[in-house]
Amino acid sequence: MDSETRSYRTGGRDVVLDLTDDCASWVAGRGDGLLNLFVPHATAGLAILETGSGSDDDLLSTLADLLPADERWRHRHGTPGHGRSHVMPALVPPYATVPVLDGRLALGTWQSICLVDLNVDNPDREVRFSFLPG
């Protein structure tokens, strides 16, 4: 198994960050197998969805409806509503696995691999890329 940790800066707002190009370049030339991604953070997740057509904004809007940034959360350090970021990985998991065929991601036409981050208190994120040969 081959693996690498990559760093990303998500900034000070809710974000869906497209990692597809990074993933595609990382698996290029590796043959058949699985790309496993993992975010070692309690407040971020990974999603496979269409981006650029509004779906990424729709995801953030849906998460804001489900997990409002207000004072209802028992987990209360950080900015108001920070506790929602600790609940989000139960809805948007911190892992994803994608088939790789002949060194290329076997995603559908409109699918992208995205880092989802609602934690405005921590803009620095790591994503662990692992390739499991088939």
Q: Cα–Cα distance between 64 and 132 in angstroms, integer?
A: 35
| pTM of the predicted structure, to 2 decimals | 0.94
Domain of residue 54 covers: 2-133
The CATH code of the domain that includes 40 is 2.60.120.460
Dihedral (Cα; 8, 12, 14, 17), 10-degree rounding: -20
Coil, strand or helix at 89: helix
pLDDT (tens digit, 0 to 9) for every residue of the chain, 134 residues total?
Answer: 899 999 999 988 999 999 999 999 999 999 999 999 999 999 999 999 999 899 999 999 999 999 999 989 888 788 888 899 999 999 999 999 999 999 999 999 999 999 999 998 999 999 999 999 99
Q: Cα–Cα distance between 58 and 68 in angstroms, integer?
A: 15
Number of structural domains, the chain? 1
Coil, strand or helix at 26: helix
